[in-house]
Chain A
Amino acid sequence: MENNMYVSSPGEGITFRAVRETRFKNACISVHFLLPLSREYATVNSVMMYLLHRSCARYPKYNEFRRELAMLYGADVTTSVSNIGNCQMLTVEIAMTDDRFLPDGESISRECAALLSEIIFRPVVDEDGELFRSEDIEASVRVIRERIQLRINDKAEYASHRCIEIMCEGELLSVEAGGYIEDLPTITRKDLAGAWRRMLSLAAVNIIMVGAVAHEPVEEIFAREFAAIDRRYAGLPDPPKMKEDLHEREVVERMDVRQSKMIIGMRLPVIEPDDRTMAARLMSMIYGGGTSSLLFNNVREKLSLCYYCSSMYLSRSGLMFVSSGIEEKNYRKAVEEIKNQLSAIADNEFTDEVFEATQINDSIGSIERWYCMQFLDGCVRTPEQAAERLKAVTRSQVAECASLVRMDTIYLLAPENREENSGEEGGAEQ
């Protein structure tokens, strides 16, 4: 046990990590399955993960399952799908109140761990003993369809999706983790069962628990369950490479919106496990990471062009995005200033103060996420060690990272031409 962490490998490609934390009132156990990312499986994985979170063989009805979780003091089961570089990550997790804070010395941690394993390893079967039930599948397909449709309600998120779709067309990086509407009608029960088996058999598995509860019973449950699986883990794909032969391009799309959403997609050849990702992360923070960043203080505070202007760097894809909401007439001015601020960092023109702003986040969620990402790198550091590494980054390393950034796609979601619209009836505009 080093750094309050216990590590074991209960099977090929499976890692179990228990981080002992007594600071929180919750405990959390999460199981992350990593598979090579593919367009083909995106939708079926998304539906399958939604099905898993609704029930299990022991509690086949959703409301009964929810009642059981409520009786466990509101233990919270979530499943999610996300993309990390060239991998897709399927996550099942349970968050529970720590036994120390329950009335009358009650204990729920073992029951919660057992329930998590039920969800993963024993999904509902129908009367014929086949995996998943058709009524649950129909309900899940409807939910996933609505979820995809509803993206448009959040215009900033919609614009980000469009930008990445256009920018990374033909690349794996453009695959939508949440799936595609056009794939939904043809999904069969067999496809879903296949997706479930593939996850258990082929994925790299990362089990993480954070909290004060004992790890031994949890480790034992998962060791036993995985021993019964026919594991055929074949490793994970190599990290993506930066696309060569880039050309800056602008794409304007129009919709019934009042504010224009601008997303600038950029690329940099600094991709995990590159040593320079820490410097690139710091570069992105200095550029547009918060209220002390250059974008906030110049595009918003000095030029009053927007309410928000921020940057985000994806260290496993080598992509960086700047996002802002502006008036269309200020588009050129904003793009120019956003480029200028990047050049300022590349030219080493930033203050020591913004450079030094580093933070450690003490939430159970961020600690869990932290270790989940560390798993991909093979070497494990504590958040404190990472903060030390961040502090060791030099100004010239930050400047170098900024100089490596290349513009790719400048995407603008702008209001429709108002003249064209004037004849329309029943418009919401006032």
Chain B
Amino acid sequence: MSTISDRFHVYDDPLTGERVYYATHPTGVKMAICPKPEFNSSYAIFGTKYGAIDNDFSVDGGEFTKVPDGIAHYLEHKLFENEDCGAFERFAKTGASANAYTSFDKTCYYFSCSERFEQSLEILLDFVQKPYFTDDTVLKEQGIIAQEIVMYQDSPNWLVFYNLMKAMYREHPIRTDIAGTVESIAQITPELLYRCYRTFYNPGNMVLAVAGNVDPQTVMEICDRMLLPNDSPVIVSRCPEDDGRIVQPFTEQEFDVPVPIFQLGFKEKWRKISERDSLLSGIVRSAVFGPMSDFYTRMMKKELISPGFSSSFMYHRGVQASILMGQSRSPEVLRDEIFAEIERVRREGISPKLFECARRSAYGSMISAFNSVDDIADSLADDLLFDTSCFEEVKAAAEVTVDEGNAKFLEQYDINNSSLSVVRRRGEA
């Protein structure tokens, strides 16, 4: 009989009070389990480090293969169909609510349940490891995914985002919709799906994160029973060379919108960043541009922004940018105001008081991220996939200083390397 300590490394986090059991299963799958016996529900996520941007890859030193746009997402849809039965039907029998998503750099399959966790976990591990693609089943999915693609094309927020990506990146696959195009998905065949599957759905590239009313030992036993051994090949997924400079400073499109919407991106040269870096960049954005800032108040008064004015930090392999977004009656005028504010902050620094406000706010929201089993499992899965630690981020939120914030700001907002994407009403461009 093995004990928990034989197979897991146990971590107790002092700030959140969470206990997490980490392990690497003998097949190579990385695992993290956060038992929450006081909760009624449980949540499990089985993911692979494979997303829409992995469209050009080589296996074990072989030649590079380029695959059609949208294939990772297509594969996610098709995995739900095994040879004998659909995964949704199987989950319906255990009462679990299951689904999956594909993003730029990962594909995740998950379920949540309040009963019969063990059976549902077996189904999750089983269906993801049993691909079954035929000409007929692949063709059948085209109608569904085509409707998913056109659904997004009716969204101005989707347009303004992808136009920004095209203005900032010359060749990177971030330019293309995760789901691909109606034309690109028509090129997808069972052979191509199997090739992508064998490359990226191998245990060394996969993770399992669980949070909820579960026992780590039981999860391990189910993994022992269900995970299939497999050689984990060496995968090299490449992105086109990028000099770190934007393609064009401005792009616009006409669409049926009542008020123009915009995204303003500040591109950075890609590098590996730490948890502290990404946390700091959030605190800095909120101190300089957030609702508590004088800049925000001034822009509201001038009616150049609305309460939807917000910001984000984008970070994927080969992609690194801060983005400010919202709606504005005049995005170009607003951009000039933002540039002037950036120049001012570069000269004068971030207000220490506002930095402290933003830091405390960030600490509170980091802690809140451990409120539900879904969020905990999601964070743990990301940590395993990208070799990060959500607990490091909480720790950083308790420690970072305004000096670090100022250094971060200087590094991030290069107005000569920014692009503005606008979607405005027909006839107003």
The chain A residues found within 8 Å of chain B, CB to CB, are 22-26, 61-63, 66-67, 69-75, 95-97, 101, 103, 139, 142-143, 146, 149-150, 152-155, 255-259, 290-292, 296-297, 300-301, 304-308, 325-327, 351, 353-354, 356-364, 384, 387, 424, 426-428
Contacts and interface: CB of A to CB of B under 8 A. Distances in A.
Nearest to B360: A73
A258 B154 contact: yes
Nearest to B287: A70
A175 B303 CA distance: 29
B401 interface: no
A62 B95 contact: no
7 contacts: A62-B297, A101-B17, A153-B156, A291-B99, A307-B147, A363-B371, A426-B254
B354 interface: yes
Contact of B16 (A101, A356, A357, A359): A101
Contact of A297 (B88, B142, B306, B374): B88
B147 A292 contact: no
Contact of B15 (A67, A101, A149): A101
Given A359-B112, A362-B40, A26 B357 contact: no
A133 B270 CA distance: 48
A301 B40 contact: no
A357 B95 contact: yes
A300 B77 CA distance: 12
A258 B17 CA distance: 49
B83 interface: no
A34 B92 CA distance: 38
B372 interface: yes
B361 A74 contact: yes
A253 to B, nearest CB: 13
B147 A74 contact: no
A359 B259 contact: no
B426 to A, nearest CB: 6
Contact of B89 (A61, A259, A297, A384): A297
A25 B258 contact: no
A297 to B, nearest CB: 7
A256 B256 contact: yes
Interface in B358-382: 358, 360-365, 367-368, 370-374
Contacts, number: 186
B97 A291 contact: yes
A356 B297 CA distance: 52
B38 A23 contact: yes
A125 to B, nearest CB: 20
A74 B364 contact: yes
Contact of A25 (B16, B97, B150, B296): B16
Nearest to A324: B147
Contacts of B41: 359-362
Nearest to B362: A74
B144 A257 contact: no
Given A360-B40, A363-B371, A426-B427, A142 B257 contact: no
Contact of A428 (B143, B254, B370, B372): B254
B291 A25 contact: no
Interface string B266-302: 0000000000000000000000001111101100110
B361 A325 contact: no
Given A25-B370, A153-B157, A142 B296 contact: no
Given A304-B141, A359-B97, 15 more contacts: A22-B38, A26-B368, A26-B371, A73-B361, A97-B368, A101-B16, A101-B367, A103-B398, A258-B150, A259-B147, A325-B151, A357-B97, A358-B95, A427-B254, A428-B254
A389 to B, nearest CB: 15
Contacts of B297: 61-63
Contacts of B140: 304
A163 to B, nearest CB: 17
A163 B303 CA distance: 32
Contacts of A69: 361
B88 A356 contact: no
Interface in B66-117: 86, 88-89, 91-93, 95, 97-99, 112-114
B148 interface: yes
Contacts of A356: 95
Contacts of A142: 303, 306
A71 B354 CA distance: 9
Contact of A70 (B95, B303, B357, B367): B357
A259 B154 contact: yes
Given A63-B292, A67-B292, A305 B398 contact: no
A374 to B, nearest CB: 18
A155 to B, nearest CB: 5
B367 A291 contact: no
User: Considering residues B142, B301, B368, which has the most beta carbons from chain A within 10 angstroms of its beta carbon?
Assistant: B368
A263 to B, nearest CB: 14
Given A70-B292, A101-B15, A307 B151 contact: yes
Contacts of B154: 155, 257-259
A396 B254 CA distance: 53
B153 interface: yes
A327 B92 CA distance: 28
Given A71-B357, A259-B151, A304-B144, A146 B371 contact: no
Interface string B117-151: 00000000000000000000000111111011011
A428 B253 contact: yes
Nearest to B361: A74
